[in-house]
Homo-oligomer: A and B are copies of this chain.
Amino acid sequence: MYVILVYDISTEGNGAKVLRHVFKTSKKYLTNVQKSVFEGEITPALLEQLRLELNQFIRSDLDSVVVFSSRQEKWLEKSFWGMEDDKTSNFF
């Protein structure tokens, strides 16, 4: 399956640390598209593993993660408006 994962981590409390953990964990499974946006092909089992890993950091009263999933990547087109910081592009 193909997923887009977007998180919103509150800066309250140890937010900066939570953000680092969430970023690093997401990057193990998916590709970084924009500061807090990841996308990629992933199996349901690995997506569940990612969810469990993120659950260790996410504060259910402060932070939010939303995951959009599609059975196939070809159903999704991606375009950038403004600065393109697509980490998946190979321009140097």
Q: Which residues of A contact B (CB under 8 A)?
A: 4, 6-8, 33-37, 39, 51, 54-55, 58-72, 75-86
**When the two chains form the complex, which single residue of B8, B35, B75, B82 contacts A35, counting CB atoms closer than 8 Å?**
B8
Show 27 residue pairs from A and B whose CB-CB distance is below 8 angstroms, ordered by the A residue: A6-B6, A6-B36, A6-B37, A34-B66, A35-B64, A36-B36, A58-B81, A59-B83, A63-B83, A64-B80, A64-B82, A65-B82, A66-B78, A66-B79, A66-B86, A67-B78, A67-B79, A67-B80, A67-B81, A68-B76, A68-B78, A69-B79, A70-B75, A70-B76, A71-B75, A75-B75, A75-B76
Given A69-B76, A76-B70: A64 and B51 interface contact (C-beta under 8 Å): no
